[in-house]
Amino acid sequence: MRATGTFVVKAFVPTGLEPDPVVPTGLPVSVATMEKHFEGEVAGRSATVFTAAYDESAGAGTYVAMESFEGTLRGRAGAFNFVHSATTSGSDRTAAFFTVVPSSGTGELAGISGTGGIAVDADGTHRVWFEYELEAAR
């Protein structure tokens, strides 16, 4: 099955958490929490732990995010985790990774598995999609 939607970031809060021991590199690693709200066939909200090594002046870096989503996929209610990451050199999005965390589904989304993706339109609209399966009820 496929579910698509759009989302907005409602909160992005740097945590101040730093790796220990500190290892000096060309880009420091930062950690933040995020709250997102979703609309469409993917409707609900998520809480995210977001880590990145990013150069704001060049718009280049890599992020890894772990999200806990609650809401609906095509009308089925529940919650689950998914993880995603990508790299940019400033004008592109490469090395994208996106997967649903096994055994994380609850409610009508129990047994969910799959992949998906995130894209940002030229106008700034953030899109998400899931290609997923649900285990048959036993």
Q: Under CATH, to which class is 2-134 assigned?
A: mainly beta
Q: How many CB atoms lie within 10 A of CB 122?
A: 5
pTM: 0.93
Q: What is the pLDDT of residues 61-107, one digit of tens each?
A: 999 999 999 999 999 999 999 999 999 998 888 999 999 999 999 99
121, pLDDT greater than 80: yes
User: Is the CB of residue 113 less than 8 Å from the CB of residue 102?
Assistant: yes
For 76, 77, 88, 127, 136, the CA distances from 43, given in Å and listed in that order, are: 10, 9, 27, 12, 22
pLDDT digits (tens, 9 = 90+) for 2-45: 999 999 999 999 998 988 898 999 998 999 999 999 999 999 99
Can you tell me the distance from the alpha carbon of 25 to that of 103, in angstroms, rounded to the nearest whole number?
36
